[in-house]
Amino acid sequence: MEIKLNLIPEGKKNEIAQSGRLRRVLRWEMSLSFVLVIFFALILSLDYLLQINLDVQVNETESGQNKARYEKISELDSNFKEINAKASFNESIQNDQLYWTKIFKKLNAATPDGISVVKMANKNYKFLLAGTADTRDILVAMKTSFSQEPCFMDVNLPLSSLVSKENVDFQIEFNIREECIKK
């Protein structure tokens, strides 16, 4: 059997008990501090991860909006190109348009009374008139007025048309200047 004797004074016993309690409190405090540090580290890492996810989502949203804007701009650009192509096609058609009314007015002004035109034909810028003149002099006057007209060139009246003196059947050919027919 063992006998234990406690020879430590009462003040020292209290001091030892208090120091044991102090050590337990410090251990609890250190354990709690360690848990709090780990908790705050976990909170900060979660905040960092959530911030990264938020940035990714914002970038995806912005890129989606930018993609939508880019698609809209691409669509508008293709529409502009299509409209410009149509406009240039219309312009080329208008530039190649021949205005025959101008030539008919000039023919009417250059043709004297006593001429009746029976046939009129053209191929590109070459024109042919066939008809009947009351007299040879009227036919020669028409050839002269055609020759003086700046829109008509290379006026050709065959000599065979000048054989008869009255009721002369004729055929006259001439070329028309391109700028006179176009706008």
- For the cut 80, the answer to whether the pLDDT of residue 182 exceeds it is no
Answer whether residue 7 is part of any domain: no
Q: Which residues of 45-59 are buried (b: 16+ CB within 10 A; e: fewer)?
A: eeeeeeeeeeeeeee
Phi, psi of 91 (to 5 degrees): -65, -40
Q: What is the pLDDT of residue 89?
A: 85
Stretch 108-127: mean pLDDT? 87
Answer whether residue 6 is part of any domain: no
Lowest mean pLDDT among 21-30, 71-80, 158-167, 170-179: 158-167
111/139 same-domain check: yes
Of the candidates 63, 96, 129, which is a domain's last residue?
96
Of all helices (H) and strands (E), which one includes residue 109?
helix 100-110
Within 10 A of 131 (CB to CB), how many other CB atoms are there? Answer: 18
pLDDT band at 103 (very low <50, low <70, confident <90, very high): confident
Report the chain's mean pLDDT, rounded to a whole number: 87
pLDDT digits (tens, 9 = 90+) for 33-57: 999 999 999 999 999 999 999 999 8
Instruction: Give Cα separations from 78 to 36, 63, 82, 84, 158 (angstroms).
Output: 62, 22, 6, 10, 58
Stretch 157-168: mean pLDDT? 81
Of the candidates 58, 73, 96, which is a domain's last residue?
96
81/112 same-domain check: no
User: Which of 104, 97, 120, 124 has the alpha carbon at shortest distance from 183?
Assistant: 97
pLDDT band at 183 (very low <50, low <70, confident <90, very high): low
Phi, psi of 80 (to 5 degrees): -60, -45
Burial-class residue 133 by CB neighbours within 10 Å (0-12, 13-18, 19+). Answer: buried
Q: Which domain holds residue 31?
A: 12-96
Answer whether residue 2 is part of any domain: no
Give the number of domains in the chain.
2
